[in-house]
Structure 1
C-alpha cells in the first residue's frame, strides 16, 4: 500500500469517526494519524517546505488570532479550553501539508465524504422510528432529532450536506462518476442528501441547497436547452419547491416563525418550535439572533481594537445579557451566532480583519486557480458563518479544517480534469 493511500484511508476513517457519535475519539485518532505522517519520509525537509509555504500560514490565521488573544485573557482556564477546540485549525494544515496525496486518492476521499454524509442519517431515521412508534409524533424525524444519535446539530449537518452536494455535482460534471453502479450510488446519495436536508429544516442550509441546485440546473439547461425549455423547467423547479414547502407543515413552520423581527430582551417566552404552535409573542430564530447581535455589538464597542480575548469574550457577552435582562440568552449561554462577530469580540477589529483577509485570500486564490470546488466551499462556509459561530464547536471546526486544508493544498491535483470550468 502506498503512503498516499494509507494516509487517505486514515483520513476517511477519521471523518467517519467525526461524523458519527464518536467525536471523543476524533482527537485520539487525529493524533495517531499525525504520528504516522511524521514518519512518512524525511521530516526535516518536509517541515522546511511546509514552513516556506504561504498557504500554510494563511490557513492557520484563525488559530493565530486565538493564540494571540490568550495574552490578554483573564480566564486562562477557559481560554485554553477554547484553544483546544480550535487546535484543528493548526493540526490539519500541518498534517495535510506534510503529506503528498495522489490525485486518485483525493477523489477517493471526496467520494467517501459524500457517502458518509449521505448514508449516516439513515441510522438516525431508523433510531427515531422507535420514538415515532411510541409517541406517534413525526417530529421525531425532524431537525436536531434526526441526527441526535450522531451527536450533531441540524445546522452543522446541513452544512455538511451542502458541501457533499457541491462535491457530488463537481465530480459528476467532469466524469469522475462513470460506471452504472457509481451513477446509481450517486443518485441514491443525492436523494438521501436532499431528503435529509429537508427534514433537518435548517433555514440557512435549505436556502443554500436550493440556490445551489437552481444554479447548477440553470447552468446545465442553458447549455443544453432552448430558451423556451429553460423557462419551462425553471418555472417547474420553483413550483416544485413551493409544493414541497407547503406539503410539510413542520418545515413550513420553521420559515413562518421568522416573519416577526421585533423583540424585547426581557421576553420570558421560549423559542417557537416546529413541533408546536407558532406564536408571535415567542422568540424565533431571527429575532433571537438580532437580539444577540445587538448585545455583541454593545460588548465590542467597549473594547473595539483588541477585544476581550478568547478566554473572556463569552463571559463579557453574558454580562451584557444580564444588564439587558436578556432572559433567553443568559439562561442558554448563547454565543455570538455569527463567526465574524465572534472574532471581533475576542480579537477586536484587528481580529476581524485578520479572519476576513484569511477568507478573502482563499476566495481570490480559488478564482485565480479556477478551483470552483474550493470557491463553492468557501461561499457555503462564509454564508453559514453569518448566522452561526461554526468554528466554535468540534463538530464544525474539524470538518472545515480538514476539507479546507485538502482543497487548498491539492488545488492543482483536484482541479486537473475535474473541477475547472
Structure 2
C-alpha cells in the first residue's frame, strides 16, 4: 500500500500535463489511499489535529462568513471548489496517523517527475506558439495566450497557472543544484532543465509570476552561498538573464506599463496594470466599508461587481474581474480575520523552513506569498491543487 501512496504522491508531478478535468484525480486517489492505509495500520498513532487545523486554516476561516453573508445561492459550489484546502491536510493527517512519513527520497522522486513533465509542457507551449506564428510575427503573444487558454487541447491552461506549473519546477531544479556537492558537473544538467522552462515562462509574460520566481531565486542564492564571490557570479548570471528576458517585446511592454502615467488615469483593457489599478480601487473601497468581517463568501463577488458598475470602470457592465490579489480577496470575504489567517499560514511555514533549514519550503513560501500579491490562485482548481499539495506535504515533511 505504501508503494501505491508513493506513486500517487509522485503523480502530482504530472499536473502540468493533466487536462483540467483530471487535475483533481491525484488528490482524491491520495485521500482514498490514506484512508485504506490508516484502516489497515496496526501501529497507528493519534490523529494530528493541531497540524491539520493549521494546514487547513485557509479553508476553515471561510466557514464563519456563512453566518453573515446574504447570498447563499450556490454556496455549496463555492465551498466545494476550495475543498482541496481541507481535503489535502486531512489526507496528510491520516498518513501521519498511520506512521507514513514524507521522506527526502519521496520528495526527490516527486521533483524528478515534476521537472520532466514541466520540460515536456514547456516544449509543447513553445512549439504551439511557433505553430500559431508568434515567432514569425503572424500573431502577437497577447492573442496567443487566449489560444493556450482555450484551444491547446487537451492541456489548455490559463497563462497564470501555466506559469505557476513552470515556475515551481524551476525552484525544484535550483534547489537540486544549490544542494549538490558537485555543482560544476551538475551545472549542464540543470541548465538543460532550466532553459526550456525559463523560455516558456518568459513567453507567458506574467509579471507577478516572473517577479516571484526571480525574488525566490535571489533569496535562495543568498541563503545557500556564503562567499561574496559566489553570490556575485550567480547574481551577475541572473542579470544577464534579465537583460535577455526584457528583449521579449511583450515582457518589455508589460513592465513599461508600470512607469507610464497614462496607466493610472483611465482604464485601458489592453493595459493589464491599468486594469489592476481600477480593480484595486474598488477592492480597497469595499474593504473600507466593511473592514472587520468583510462580506462573506456569498456576497464578496457581488459587492465587487456592484462597485465596477457604479463607477463604470469597464465597458461591459456584466464583465467581472476578481480582486487579482489573494490577500485582498480573503479580506473581502472574511475581513481582517481572513487576512491574518493567510499571513499566519505563510509565517508559520516560513518559520518551519528556517528552523529546519528546508530551502525548498522557504523558496515555495516566498514564491506563493509574492504570487498572491498579483493573482487569486486559490480560486481555481489548478492553483488550489498544486498549492495545497506542496505546502501541506512540506509542512508534514520531517528530516530523518
Q: Bin the TM-score by the shorter chain.
A: 0.7 to 0.9
1:121 partnered with 2:118:
no
Change (3 A) 1:216 1:92: closer
The residue that corresponds to 1:260 in the other structure is: 260
The 3 A distance-change label for structure 1 pair 332 and 12 is farther
The CA distance in 2 between the partners of 1:134 and 1:243, in whole Å, is 16
1:396 alignment counterpart: 383
Task: Tell me, yes or no, if the aligned pair for 1:374 and 1:407 is still in contact at 8 Å.
Answer: yes
Superposition deviation, residue 288 in structure 1: 1.9
Aligned length: 391
Q: What are the within-5 Å matches in structure 2 for residues 325-404 of structure 1?
A: 325-327=312-314, 330-404=317-391
The 1:48/1:321 distance shift into structure 2, 3 A limit, reads farther
- Offset of residue 90 of structure 1: 0.7
Provide the alpha-carbon RMSD of the alignment: 3.3
In 1, distance between residues paired with 2:238 and 2:62? 44
Cα distance in 1, alignment partners of residues 29 and 316 from structure 2: 39
* Counterpart residue number, 1:192: 196
- Separation in 2, partners of 1:224, 1:356: 32
Distance 1:220 1:345, change over 3 A: closer
Change (3 A) 1:406 1:172: same
State the Cα deviation string for residues 92-145 of structure 1 (Å, max 9, x = none): 111123222443222101221222223212223333433229995253598735
1:146 deviates by: 7.5
Provide the secondary structure at the position in 2 that maps to 1:187.
helix
TM-score, length-scaled by structure 2? 0.85
> Which position in structure 2 is the counterpart of 1:279?
none
| Shift, 1:44, TM fit | 8.7
| Long gaps (5+) in structure 1 | 273-283, 417-421
Q: Evaluate the alpha carbon distance shift between residue 92 and residue 262 of structure 1 in structure 2; reply closer, same or farther with a 3 A threshold.
A: same
Q: Give the TM-score normalised by structure 1.
A: 0.81
Q: Residue 56 of structure 1 is aligned with which of 52, 57, 61?
A: 52
Q: Which residue of 2 aligns with 1:419?
A: none
Whole-angstrom CA distance in 2 between matches of 1:304 and 1:87: 26
What CA distance in whole angstroms lies between the structure 2 residues aligned with 1:176 and 1:96? 31
- Which SS does the other structure have where 1:137 is aligned? coil
More divergent stretch after superposition (192-201 vs 165-174):
165-174
Name the CA shift for 1:108/1:24 in 2 (closer, same or farther; >3 Å): same
Describe how 1:238-257 pairs up with structure 2 within 5 A: 238-239=239-240, 241-245=242-246, 247-257=247-257
Distance 1:403 1:377 in 2: 8
Counterpart in 1 of 2:212?
208
- Report if the CA contact (8 A) 1:119-1:189 is conserved: no
